[in-house]
Amino acid sequence: MVAFTRLRLTGFKSFVDPTDLVIEPGLTGVVGPNGCGKSNLVEALRWVMGETSAKQMRGGEMDDVIFGGTGQRPARNIAEVTIDLDNADGSAAVFRQFRELEITRRIERGSGSVYRVNGKEARARDVQLLFADAATGARSTAMVSQGRVGAIIAARPAQRRALLEEAAGIGGLHARRHEAETR
Ligand code: ATP
Ligand code: MG
C-alpha cells in the first residue's frame, strides 16, 4: 500500500496559512480542542484523493472548502492541498515509474478544481484511479468517518458487496470497466 509521507495545505477550510505536516511511519494521532481543525485535516486528505461530493466535505458546494474568512481575516479565493506518497512498491499502478508521487488539487472560487501529479496536470479520474488501485480512495474502507459503521450494518447486499470489493483492491477495475462501457 502507498504510504502518505507529507501533507501540505493552504487556504483549505480553517488552514488559511500554509501548513506543512510530515507524516512519519507508524501510527499518527491528531489531537486538539473542539473546532481546532482535526476533521478538516482528514477532509483535506479525502479531498486531494478526488472527493466529488461537497456534502462529504460538510459543505453546500465545493467552493466551501476555501477559507471563508473570520472576523479578523478576509476570505481567500484559492485552496490547495498536496499529498506526498511513497510509491516504492508500485501500488499506484498507473504511476509505477515514480517512486515518489506528489499529488496536488487546487480550487479557485467559481472555476472548479485542477489536479497535478508530480507537477504535470492530470485528470480527476487519474487521481481517483490512483487511489482506488492503492485501496486508499476518498470513499474507501481505509477512511472510516462518523456514522459509517452503522451505515455498513444497515447497508443493502449490493452496497456491502461494493465495500468488500474495495477492501479486496478491485475497486479500480470496476471504475475502469464503467468508464470503458460509457465511452
Ligand atoms: P471536533 O473536536 O468538534 O470534532 P475538529 O477539530 O474536528 O472539532 P473541525 O470540524 O475540523 O474541528 O473544524 C471546525 C472549524 O473549521 C470551525 O471553526 C469552522 O468554522 C472552521 N471552518 C470550516 N470550514 C471553513 C472555511 N471554509 N473557512 C474558514 N473556517 C472554516
Ligand atoms: Mg471533528
Q: Where are the domains of the chain?
A: 3-138
The mean of the pLDDT values for the chain is 90
CA 142 to ligand 2 center in whole angstroms = 17
Cα 105 to Cα 13: distance, rounded to the nearest angstrom = 14
Interval 70-80 mean pLDDT: 97
Evaluate whether 167 touches 141 at the Cβ level (below 8 Å): yes
CA 23 to ligand 1 center in whole angstroms = 21
Tell me the three cell numbers of residue 98: 515514480
The more confident residue out of 146 and 150 is: 150
Quick check: 133 pLDDT over 70?
yes
Quick check: 107 pLDDT over 80?
yes
- Residue 39 annotated as part of some ligand binding site: yes
Q: Does domain 3-138 have CATH number 3.30.450.20?
A: no
The count of other CB atoms within 10 Å of the CB of residue 140 is: 19
Owner of C-alpha cell 455498513: 152
- Residue 36 annotated as part of some ligand binding site: yes
CA 41 to ligand 2 center in whole angstroms = 9
Quick check: 90 pLDDT over 90?
no
* Ligand whose nearest atom lies closest to the CA of 76: 1
- CA 178 and chain centroid, separation: 21
Choosing from 39, 47, 109 the residue with most ligand 1 atoms within 8 A of its CB, the one to mutate for a pocket test is 39
Q: Whose CA is nearest to atom 15 of ligand 1?
A: 35
What's the pLDDT band for 141 if we cut at 50, 70, 90? low
The more confident residue out of 139 and 92 is: 92
Evaluate whether 43 touches 62 at the Cβ level (below 8 Å): no
pLDDT of 135 reads: 65
pLDDT single digits (tens) 150-180: 888 899 999 888 878 877 777 778 788 888 8
pLDDT of 137 reads: 67
Quick check: 76 pLDDT over 90?
yes
- Which of 138, 140, 139, 92 lies closest to 118 in space, CA to CA? 92
pLDDT of 4 reads: 92
Evaluate whether 82 touches 127 at the Cβ level (below 8 Å): no
Cα 157 to Cα 56: distance, rounded to the nearest angstrom = 23
Tell me the three cell numbers of residue 105: 488539487
Pocket lining for ligand 1, CB < 6 angstroms: 13-14, 32, 34-40, 64, 66-68
pLDDT single digits (tens) 1-29: 678 999 999 999 999 999 999 999 999 99
